[in-house]
Chain A
Amino acid sequence: MIECPCCGRKHRPGTLFCTECGVYLPTGGPLGTEPIPERDLPAARAHAWGADADRETAEQLNAVLRIKVLSSDRQIQLPSGEDVRVGRLDAAHGIFPDIDLTPDGGLEGGVSRRHCKIYEEDGDYFVEDLGSANGTFLDGERLTPYLPHVLEDGDKLQLGRVELEVAIQR
């Protein structure tokens, strides 16, 4: 028999969720995101929001965005027309991100369960940090949580310690 780490109820081996308190048994609850020591993160500079405000936004519909995870070399093409959530899968809490970075070392790399979202608007792609524990960095700059920023071809994104490369084909 296995014991629920949360409420102590006994279950048969192989059971995945505690029916008493709802905890995901193999991990004993939500996987916490450990804070990474400050020195391990890229230096955070104040981000000048609005510097790109005057850039042209036109005619660039049907752009395709691909993301490459540098650590694992995994390439992901984003579905167009909807918000894409990037984070770490946590079944116990019903968190199923569109891009799950667990297989790319997301947990050790300090990726939050809800880390950031990427979406398209009028032909431009945006990234928005969702108040993640270890931050989203765009070309070395830490993004202000919940403030969207335009993504360009060749941009380097960093979620906690996990590095991603952005490719936009127009």
Chain B
Amino acid sequence: MVFDAEKDYYAILGVSSFATPQEIKRAYHKLARRYHPDSREAQTPTRLFHQIQEAYSVLSDPAGRNAYDRQRDELGRGDETAMAWQVLLSRKTLYSKHEEQVFYALLEIGPAVALGDERIPLDLSVVIDRSTSMKGARIENVKEAARQIVDQLHDEDKLALVTFNDRAEVVMSGRVGSTRAQAKAKITALRSEGGTELLQGIRFGLAEIGAYPGQDVVNHLILLTDGRTYGDDRACLAAADRAGKRGIGISTMGIGEDWNDDLLDEIASRSGGTSAYIASPSQVRTLLEKRIRSLGSVFATGLNLTVRSAAGVRVESAFQTSPSLERLHLSDGMTRLGALEIDAPRKVLLEIVVERRSPGEHRLLQVELTADVPGLDLKSERLKRDIWCTFTEEEVSPREVKVPPAILNALSRTTLYRMQEQAWSALEEGQVDRATSQLEMVATRLLDLGEERLARAALLEAEHITKRGNPTAEGRKRIKYGTRSLDTGRKAYD
């Protein structure tokens, strides 16, 4: 089969690279009718018709298509980009006779080139909950932390300070260099009163970002709250979606026990930000400072991951495992990963289910990553990789498969996180026994890892549920965010 891998036959036929043979045939017939030299419609030179025929002759032959795909993939790999990645697979050989089987892919994404010392300016909104419940240590610590941020930010950064209770208010907004003193005075004057209307705060905060267009900046919103919002959950998520599309990440920080962790996690995940649990008010400062520092070391922004799968292949679950553990939600195969920091490579673990395949090599997935690199003035940098597996008629015993340690490490962390997730969902369905036994198993694993304090928290929680039938708000958050920030690599020994 003669083909030219430089040509994009799929684009010529106007089909996806995972199109079924039927789809390819249909597309070809439609185009052939239209561009056939004998057709009255045909105004274009016959060269186009030959292209269409060439494309079809390659793509309609399974072996030819396979070979063409292979070579296209190789070609794509040579692309010089500002980012580099590594794709690891739990196994490359699969057994052709399993109805369905699982394998895992770990993507490790990092910068491929060094940036200068210059830091990309931040366009930051800090949105602070000042409802009555924040009174006392909480608001005082937040104020202290906010003043510290003002000092930490650079002169050319832009900062907007938004507070909200029943309504939202922009306390100050502008370049940090010219508004430092004013900003700190305004922060000191904050008082807590009223309820918690999250949506208003988020809307006002987002509106302040992007006031100086035409410059490469890192857009971000930091939301600090301690309460639950009622009735505007959906609108908050929609706002997070829109923020994500505009390239604004939202980092959420929940203080204390009463906030809605599912909502704040989802807001962060949809916009490409992170979420954190602040157990005691004194942690606000350290966490905020860390967040600002990492925003200051951003290499790429608007990192989007798209996974396309062949027929009979699906992504069962997706997790970001580094820098922090987050469950990723793919919508139409796409998920937002937010900003990539220089020193914190991004790792994404995919759990993939494959249906029965004939022996031989098969292209199962295509992963594509796009991002902007503001420091190098690059827009929509693109990395693309096909994932191939060989199917054989001989089954290899799972014990003999050498799984890369990085995948095992990532998997053992996500497994623990999923175990506690299941405990909470069992509880929501009223299965108290299952929830407690699940929590006890989480505790056992945590003990194996030497995480005694977290293990004890899980056991206490299990006991509380047995006695009362419901979890404590604090325990639930401690275990959830605790299992998420586990670093089993070394901690296992400490």
Q: Chain A interface (Cβ within 8 Å of chain B)?
A: 2, 7, 11-22, 24-27, 30, 85, 89, 91-96, 114
Contact = CB atoms under 8 A, between A and B. Distances in A.
A114 B441 contact: no
Given A26-B401, A89-B405, A114-B493, A16 B419 contact: no
A165 B337 CA distance: 47
Nearest to B395: A13
Interface string B452-488: 0000000000000000000000000000000000001
Contact of B488 (A7, A18, A19, A96): A96
Given A21-B419, A91-B412, A93-B448, 13 more contacts: A13-B95, A13-B398, A14-B103, A15-B102, A16-B398, A20-B419, A22-B444, A25-B398, A91-B403, A93-B445, A93-B492, A94-B492, A96-B409
Contacts of B101: 12-14
Contacts of B488: 94, 96
Interface of B: 90-91, 94-95, 98, 100-104, 353, 398-399, 401, 403, 405, 407-409, 411-413, 415-416, 418-419, 422, 438, 441-442, 444-445, 448-449, 488-493
Contacts of B403: 16, 91
Contact of A19 (B98, B104, B418, B492): B418
A89 B95 CA distance: 26
Contacts of B445: 22, 93
Nearest to B316: A12
A15 B403 CA distance: 12
A99 to B, nearest CB: 13
8 contacts: A11-B102, A15-B102, A19-B418, A20-B419, A22-B441, A26-B401, A94-B449, A94-B492
B95 A94 contact: no
- Interface SS, B side: helix
B94 A92 contact: no
A24 to B, nearest CB: 8
Contacts of A92: 412, 448
A106 to B, nearest CB: 15
- Interface SS, A side: loop
Nearest to B491: A94
A93 B492 CA distance: 8
B398 A26 contact: yes
Contact of A16 (B90, B438, B442): B90
B416 A96 contact: no
Nearest to A30: B448
Given A12-B101, A15-B102, A22-B445, A96 B492 contact: yes
A108 to B, nearest CB: 14
B433 to A, nearest CB: 14
A92 B102 CA distance: 18
A12 B422 CA distance: 18
A145 B399 CA distance: 32
A15 B492 CA distance: 23
Contacts of A13: 95, 98, 100-102, 398
A16 B408 contact: yes
Contacts of B398: 2, 13-14, 16, 25-26
Given A12-B100, A19-B419, A94 B399 contact: no
A157 to B, nearest CB: 19
B95 A17 contact: no
B492 to A, nearest CB: 5
Contacts of A12: 98, 100-102, 353
A24 B353 CA distance: 18
A17 B91 CA distance: 15
A25 B445 CA distance: 14
A146 to B, nearest CB: 13
A35 to B, nearest CB: 20
Nearest to A21: B441
A40 B445 CA distance: 33
A21 B437 CA distance: 9
B415 A19 contact: yes
Nearest to A27: B399
A94 B441 contact: no
B314 to A, nearest CB: 12
A22 B353 contact: no
Nearest to A82: B490
Contacts of B448: 30, 92-94
B109 to A, nearest CB: 22
A96 B489 contact: yes
Contacts of B103: 14
Contacts of B416: 22
A16 B100 contact: no
Contacts of B405: 89, 91, 96
Q: Which of B90, B401, B490 has the most CB of A within 10 A?
A: B490
A133 B328 CA distance: 41
